[in-house]
Amino acid sequence: MAIEQFWGTGRRKTSVARVRIIPGGEGGIVVNKKPIEDYFDRSDHIQVARRPIEHVEKVGEFAVHVNVRGGGNTGQAGAISHGLARALVKADESLKPSLKKGGFLTRDPRMVERKKYGQKGARARFQFSKR
């Protein structure tokens, strides 16, 4: 017999998180086979990743397993948040309005702007001298 589980894919900057939630689990969040407290060194990243499940008041009702790759800590925390919200909607469709209103289902479109040729960076120019 297969265990009922729900998947959600979250993205932020260049990070991609595959989030799997299992109803009735022990309630912890495991990121890349480590507890979330061991994976992220800053508490604000942990808060960002947990925010969707706290928003719908379902803390402790799901075991959350995450595989995340790419980007840095901030992008990965945002990707986990996005994927967790999507997985929660698949588990219980009635949570969708609340998560949508909270902005958890919206993919953050901000990406790093590319460097342009003839310039120092994306927008920064080389120093200009008139004389």
Q: Render pLDDT for 19-71 as a digit per residue (tens, 0 to 9).
A: 999 998 777 899 999 999 999 999 999 999 999 999 998 888 899 999 999 99
Q: How far apart are the first and last CA of the chain?
A: 79
State the number of CA atoms in the 13 A half-sphere of 37 facing the CB.
Answer: 1
Residue 84 lies in a domain: yes
User: For residue 82, is pLDDT > 80?
Assistant: yes
Residue 114 lies in a domain: no
Comparing C-alpha atoms, which of 15, 17, 16, 19 is closest to residue 7? 19
Beta bridge partners of 17: 10, 68
- Host domain of residue 85: 6-102
Residue 89 lies in a domain: yes
Residue 109 lies in a domain: no
Question: Parallel, antiparallel, or unpaired for β 62-69 and 34-35?
Answer: unpaired
> For position 15, which CATH number holds?
3.30.230.10
Instruction: State how many domains the chain has.
Output: 1
pLDDT at 1: 58
Residue 82 lies in a domain: yes
What backbone torsions phi and psi does residue 101 show, to the nearest 5 degrees?
-65, -35
